[in-house]
Amino acid sequence: MRVSAAILIETIFLLIAFSIYYFTGNVFYIYNFAFIGTSVAVGVLLTQNGHRFGRNIIMLAVGSYLLIYVGIFGGENLLLSGFWYYLFLGVFEAAVIHYLIAKIAGPVIFGRGWCGYACWIAMVLDLLPYKIPTNDRKDWGYVRYVLFVVIFAFVSVLFIFKVNRLDMIMFYMFIIGNAVYYILGILLAYKLHDNRAFCKYVCPITVFLKISSYFSILRVKVNQDKCIECGKCMKICPMDVEILNDSRKRKNGTECILCLNCAKDCPKNAIKI
């Protein structure tokens, strides 16, 4: 049984949980990051050892927790707009900590594990019928950057003009933003026959993720001595990653979500984290 990646993830999240508690005195962060870290670690462990629905179950658990408990009931905007909002307020809590760990600094260790095991948008998109892309990838990556800038500009304008009840506006942006993301993600999946089309072309959070994921410690690698270059791993990859190339510069390398479909489908067991 492969456990090293799971142990690393669990250890990192527990260190984060107790470190933030030490500096803030808020016990919530212990429960929060211990739950997320343990869930993701279990998800990676199950996925590495061949459990077909392990990742989906964990994504549903973590994604629902963040969306419903932290976001809707807790009133925290965990979308990109919420990150800018809390950052401009100078509040080092809520979405700022979430983004720092899951999407800015954390991916240096676990890459885009957020996308594969915790994203509440992807937890729904991954249940759609187009798990393996059947069409050529589109040259639409610029959309994510446009949306990133638009969101930053919108929140900036709210602060510049000192709009009242920003907290309420941020809450409604979280609700409406997620609804738009779900609708757009599902439409794109059916239109392009690709469950992860939204992640590839639209999601503005990937602007952060693609940078730090380049340096990720946890990476899918190929044992060249075992590999027979059958190409199955590249055909089944939902993110079109050039699996057979171990270089950090491999095509779409920063988009690997650690789903490990490539490892599960490899006839020679030549792929691992």
pLDDT confidence of residue 45: 87
Give the alpha-carbon dihedral of 179, 182, 186, 188, to 10 degrees.
Answer: 90
Encode pLDDT of 247-272 as tens digits.
999 999 999 999 999 998 899 999 98
Q: What average pLDDT does range 50-68 have in this prediction? A: 90
- CA pair distance 191, 63, nearest whole angstrom: 25
Could you give the CA distance from residue 270 to residue 29 in angstroms, rounded to a whole number? 38
Contact call for residues 197 and 185 (beta carbons, < 8 A): yes
Q: What percent of the chain stands above pLDDT 90?
A: 78
Q: Cα separation of 208 and 218, whole Å?
A: 17
Mean pLDDT of 93-99: 87
pLDDT, tens only, 126-174? 999 999 998 889 999 999 999 999 999 999 999 999 999 999 999 999 9
Domain extent listing, the chain:
4-213
pTM exceeding the 0.85 threshold for the entire prediction: yes
- Say yes or no to pLDDT of 50 above 80: no
Instruction: Identify whether the C-beta of residue 263 lies closer than 8 Å to the C-beta of residue 238.
Output: no
Residue 2 pLDDT: 65
Other beta carbons within 10 angstroms of residue 47's beta carbon come to 27
Average pLDDT over residues 118-131: 96
> pLDDT class for 86, splitting at 50, 70, 90?
very high
